[in-house]
Structure 1
Amino acid sequence: MEEHANTIPESKIDFGKMQYGCEHYRRRCKLRTPCCNQIFPCRHCHNEATSALSNPKDRHELVRHEVKQVICSVCDTEQQVAHVCSKCGVNLGEYFCEICKFYDDDTGKRQFHCDECGICRVGGRENFFHCQKCGSCYSVDLRDNHLCVENSMKHHCPVCYEYLFDSVKGTTIMKCGHTMHMECYMEMMNQNQYRCPICSKSVLNMSRTWERLDEEIEATSMPEEYRYEVPILCNDCNNTTRAFFHIFGHKCSHCNSYNTRTIGTTNYQQ
Structure 2
Amino acid sequence: SGEQAAAEAEAEAPPVVLKQRPVAEVETWTIAGAAAGGKRVLGCKHYAHACQLVAACCGKLVPCRRCHDEQVPMHTMTASAAMVCMKCGVEQPPGQKCVSCEATMARYYCGVCNLYDDDPTHAVYHCPFCNLCRRGKGLGVDVFHCMRCNQCMSLAISETHVCREGALDTNCPICQESLFTSSSPVRQTPCGHFMHSDCYTAYTKTAYTCPMCSKSLADMTIYFNMLEALVMAEELPEEYRDLAQEILCNDCGRRGSAKFHFVYHKCPSCKSFNTRVL
Q: TM-score, normalised by structure 1?
A: 0.81
CA displacement, residues 224-248 of structure 1 (integer Å, 9 cap, x when unaligned): 3223221111111222222121235
Residue 137 of structure 1 aligns to a residue whose secondary structure is strand
Partner of 2:58: 36
Partner of 2:113: 100
The question of 1:246 aligning with 2:268 is answered no
Q: Report how many residues are paired.
A: 240
Per-residue deviation, 1:18: 7.7
Residue 246 of structure 1 aligns to a residue whose secondary structure is coil
The question of 1:183 aligning with 2:198 is answered yes
Structure 1: segments with no counterpart, 5+ residues:
1-5, 7-15, 52-58, 264-270
Per-residue deviation, 1:147: 4.0
Segment drifting more, 89-98 vs 146-155:
146-155
User: 2:247 and 2:188 mapped to 1: Cα distance?
Assistant: 28
Partner of 1:211: 225
The question of 1:85 aligning with 2:107 is answered no
The question of 1:113 aligning with 2:135 is answered no
Residue 186 of structure 1 aligns to a residue whose secondary structure is helix
Q: TM-score, normalised by structure 2?
A: 0.79
The question of 1:22 aligning with 2:44 is answered yes
**1:66-85 superposed matches below 5 A:** 66-85=79-98
1:48 to 43, 46, 70: 70
User: 2:158 and 2:211 mapped to 1: Cα distance?
Assistant: 24
User: 1:228 and 1:146 mapped to 2: Cα distance?
Assistant: 45
User: 1:178 and 1:70 mapped to 2: Cα distance?
Assistant: 39
Q: Does structure 2 retain, via aligned residues, the 8 Å contact 1:95–1:107?
A: no
1:197 to 211, 217, 220: 211
* One-letter code aligned to 2:52: K
Partner of 2:17: none
2:156 to 116, 129, 141: 141
Q: Does structure 2 retain, via aligned residues, the 8 Å contact 1:156–1:163?
A: yes
* One-letter code aligned to 1:111: V
User: 1:104 and 1:251 mapped to 2: Cα distance?
Assistant: 53
**1:217-232 superposed matches below 5 A:** 217-226=231-240, 227-232=242-247
Segment drifting more, 142-151 vs 91-100:
142-151
Segment drifting more, 238-247 vs 36-45:
238-247
Q: Does structure 2 retain, via aligned residues, the 8 Å contact 1:110–1:122?
A: yes
Residue 99 of structure 2 aligns to a residue whose secondary structure is coil
User: 2:183 and 2:200 mapped to 1: Cα distance?
Assistant: 16
CA displacement, residues 20-53 of structure 1 (integer Å, 9 cap, x when unaligned): 11111111111111110121110111111112xx
Change (3 A) 1:144 1:234: farther
Structure 2: segments with no counterpart, 5+ residues:
1-11, 13-28, 30-38
Q: Does structure 2 retain, via aligned residues, the 8 Å contact 1:92–1:103?
A: yes
Q: Does structure 2 retain, via aligned residues, the 8 Å contact 1:146–1:173?
A: no
Partner of 1:9: none
User: 2:134 and 2:84 mapped to 1: Cα distance?
Assistant: 24
User: 2:267 and 2:149 mapped to 1: Cα distance?
Assistant: 31
Q: Provide the alpha-carbon RMSD of the alignment.
A: 2.3
User: 2:177 and 2:194 mapped to 1: Cα distance?
Assistant: 12
Q: Does structure 2 retain, via aligned residues, the 8 Å contact 1:18–1:106?
A: no
Change (3 A) 1:68 1:134: same
Change (3 A) 1:211 1:232: same
Q: Does structure 2 retain, via aligned residues, the 8 Å contact 1:18–1:105?
A: no
User: 1:131 and 1:201 mapped to 2: Cα distance?
Assistant: 25
Per-residue deviation, 1:174: 0.9
Segment drifting more, 140-149 vs 76-85:
140-149
User: 2:55 and 2:100 mapped to 1: Cα distance?
Assistant: 21
Partner of 1:55: none
Partner of 2:171: 156
